[in-house]
Chains A and B, each alone.
Chain A
Amino acid sequence: MNWKTFGAMLARDAHVARRNAIQLFMQTFLQPLLFVFIFGKVMVGSGYIRGEYKSILLPGIIAISMTFTGVWAVAMPLIAEFQWTREIEDRLLAPISVGWIAIEKVIAGMLQALVAGLVVIPLAWLVLRPGVEISIGTPFTFAVIIVLVAGFSACGGLALGSSMNQQHIGLMFSMVMTPMIFFGCTYFPWSALNKFPYLQKAVLINPLVYASEGLRATLVPRFEHLPILAVIGALFFFDVLLLVVGLRQFEKKSIT
């Protein structure tokens, strides 16, 4: 393992992310914040939705922002760099084994997802206030959960980005990301599906469910949520699964 090379590649990704910061910011936060504004502010304010919805919505919005950022931060550059320009080649030729290049991408994506999560909390809080009550009662559990959420999003980005071509980006968002977000217990708690028992079971294959419910469990524990241990176990499982698939796909795509 060559830490200098690994560090230099991380520095490169940080440099590029800084350069594209405003664009990344709009991409990541505009849609969730508009959602927060319409559903949390307008709909609640006009009495169509109960006030406590604000507190249920916030963890879901954090989960969406983190997942979207992690997937986007890893998958999009990979798809572009593996296309005909083969921009990734200068890193593939750096003195480090190919697997570590993929892991570097995952770490960079996780860091971006964590930043997105930590930025969206105060932003959403500002839009929603007053009447939103969140508290981090168990900081260690919260930290474990957001790291695992960042991990699943970045590993998911690696798996998707190494398996797809440029012409499938639209399809990836409409076929993978959109259903994942809508069935990810982001806009409603998992317990809201009690009346739809089949759907309630089916959504459990969606890692975003555990992200939303895990954040709900640590930020607004007074609402019903999935047990924390189950959430941590499931997130860990998805992290490992997506990392293994992602590494395999990445190696397949980098070496002819």
Chain B
Amino acid sequence: MAVGVRTQDLRKVYSSAPPLGAAGGFIARGDAKGSKQPKAQIPALDGLSLEILPGEIFGLLGPNGAGKSTTVGVLTTRVRPTSGQAWIGDHDVWKEQAEVKRLIGVVPQRPNLDFSLTAREILVFHGAYFGIGAKQRNERADGLLEKFKLTERGNQMVRGFSGGMMQRLSIARAMMHDPQVLFLDEPSAGLDPQTRILLWEIIREYHQAGKTVLLTTHNMEEADALCQRLAIIDHGHAIALGTPAQLKASIPGGFLLRLRFGNQTADLLPRLQSLAVVREVRAADTTGLDVYADRGGSLIPEIANLAASSGAELSDVHISEPSLENLFLHHTGRSLRD
């Protein structure tokens, strides 16, 4: 039976530097003994409540430092929340850690493979940690090596593996004990396009087997292609939630025209606002305006005329179609890549 995931009002404040990708990074021990200055309080999660339904592919989308990895860290028992609660199925993540760990598989942001073992041993020992019998874990390891195109390298130590191979092996390892909920933290970061497609296929296939998948990404294309529902996260809380289509439809007009001016006049904003197809105009930087409208390129002549008649000099226009990137920009005033 598929298992859901839930968090309620999760808060996390790091008193030392937060780990680099909470689940997969290192612990920076900046709190050296004897340092007199008060520890920096770095809030990573600020009241995050989410409900991920059993059997869905759910995406956490947000820029670096938004709290995605910390969320995954809390849900996978690796980060202790400052307050709030989290559940995997009916199990409280903090009170029933061993049961929770049995239900989840985790692919960290950076591969954390056991460098003392060969690729095949990594899978086989992982199976053993989860109490899978010898015959079954050997068969499953061979199957996964085959599926992830690693059979030829199975008996080699992983130290010499490329980043993409390590990433594939990390995913194979996470699937080894057939977890009900699969967490993938930035799964396609650093993968070549071919491997990314393979990864997407594997995630979809895993989902079709009735499993729940939670992935974090700052890649809109990935979120759009894979996720059934998305939460957009910024500064530790969800700023938007829904299917990719719903979220895109929530952007006023859908099209975003980013206008930049050599010099800008005060009456330009209200005049642009009065155009029939324009839904919203926002000042951006000091010399720019962001126009949300129902049309894209065909609106340019009107804008250019309007600018000319009000004495403003248009220096740059960028048109983007409805996208999650625009959505993020609409909610936060910042680009995902900022």
Contacts and interface: CB of A to CB of B under 8 A. Distances in A.
B98 A97 contact: yes
A90 to B, nearest CB: 6
A12 B125 contact: yes
24 contacts: A2-B98, A8-B128, A12-B114, A12-B125, A15-B121, A16-B117, A82-B26, A82-B27, A84-B26, A85-B115, A86-B24, A86-B108, A86-B112, A89-B23, A89-B24, A89-B78, A89-B106, A92-B77, A93-B104, A94-B130, A96-B101, A97-B97, A255-B79, A256-B80
B281 interface: no
A255 B97 CA distance: 12
Nearest to A163: B29
Interface in A85-115: 85-98
B26 A83 contact: yes
Chain A interface: which size bin? 20 to 34
Given A16-B116, A256-B27, A95 B101 contact: yes
Interface string B6-21: 0000000010001100
B25 interface: yes
Interface string B193-208: 0000000000000000
Nearest to B157: A19
Interface in B36-78: 73, 76-78
B260 interface: no
A92 B130 contact: no
Contacts of A95: 98-99, 101-102, 129-131
Chain B interface: which size bin? 35 or more
Contacts of A91: 129
Contacts of A50: none
Contacts of B25: 84, 86
A236 to B, nearest CB: 29
A172 to B, nearest CB: 15
Interface in B78-100: 78-80, 97-99
- B interface, over-half SS: loop
Nearest to A254: B78
Nearest to B12: A256
A29 to B, nearest CB: 21
Given A5-B130, A85-B115, A87-B114, A94 B101 contact: yes
Contact of A4 (B23, B106, B113, B131): B131
Contact of A87 (B19, B115, B121, B130): B115
A90 B125 CA distance: 10
A11 B26 contact: no
B129 A8 contact: yes
A253 interface: yes
Contacts of B129: 5, 8-9, 90-91, 94-96
B3 interface: no
B22 interface: yes
